[in-house]
Chains A and B, each alone.
Chain A
């Protein structure tokens, strides 16, 4: 999956976040193509180690402040689980979608 999508509407970044310096991973959790809120979204590092967890918004959005490198985003929900890989070559906004089933 391409980890460098164009910025789009999602969870607004907090004021003061500098995308020249911060590596932001953001995206949506989907079930059958429909955004899923209330999913537990876990960020795992390149060795599979847990790094952070957030809950997806009502529109299915999630966001992490990470560091350059390869990451796995894994989502848990009553409707099922799923995961996706994303590579952040450097600072900026990197988008990824996670389908649960």
Chain B
């Protein structure tokens, strides 16, 4: 798969700020970053309040997604360029989510907000208004989303990639180290999973590593290219980043994101859990 089909550079974005049919969307967990300054013309999506069901632990449904994109002024034919903070975690999650609901013309800004800011490119606090559309979503594409039963069945058979930090994988931490460590679930990882932290797929400036580096990374970790793969993390956002690397950049065919991730798995009764660094392969 060609990188140009799924990634754009910060330079490209700066040259295409006024291009008709291109919509820039900042996706964050904490939208105060957007409010303090965003790429000129970009609209924002709040990962927690707009992409998650407010009551059940799930996504907004198809109708909810249609309503959201219509209100944001995003049309079916628009080229959507996603970017965000946290090394594009939530932008990658939104990318996966757009794909899940069948929006094909979507790309990530390589490096996200970090690269944009480190480059010293312009940020705007101007309010952005886009005329509402009538967006139509497709049914969820089940080929890229894994659920818990499938994950349990995949132990020892499919590639399971745990993309959390080594300490979370080993069971020493329950969340990334910028978050408090209280949580109800058990610590550890899914047996037979290999630990390839999402961060290994990214350069320091947030851009993705080259395909050659990525291929070597996953091969060295013991991922079998001939097998199906399920990626997971804690809440499914970092694993969207790795899903992007495996499925969109490297073109591995059957790759799913387990969005329930450790928050669900570590709370299940009766499933096997492994502690420690796991087997090195």
Contacts and interface: CB of A to CB of B under 8 A. Distances in A.
Query: Do A and B interact?
Result: yes
B205 interface: yes
Main secondary structure on chain A at its contact with chain B?
A: strand
A17 B177 contact: no
Interface in B198-250: 199-200, 204-205
Interface stretch (B45-53, B66-74, B146-154, B165-173): B165-173
B180 A14 contact: yes
- Interface size range on B against A: 20 to 34
Interface string A11-24: 00010110000100
- Interface size range on A against B: 20 to 34
Nearest to B87: A53
A77 B165 CA distance: 23
B118 A40 contact: yes
A4 interface: no
Contacts, number: 62
B86 A53 contact: yes
A52 B165 contact: yes
A78 B117 contact: yes
Contacts of A50: 165, 197, 199-200
Contacts of B165: 45, 49-52
Interface of B: 33, 85-87, 114, 117-118, 120, 165-167, 172-173, 175-182, 197, 199-200, 204-205
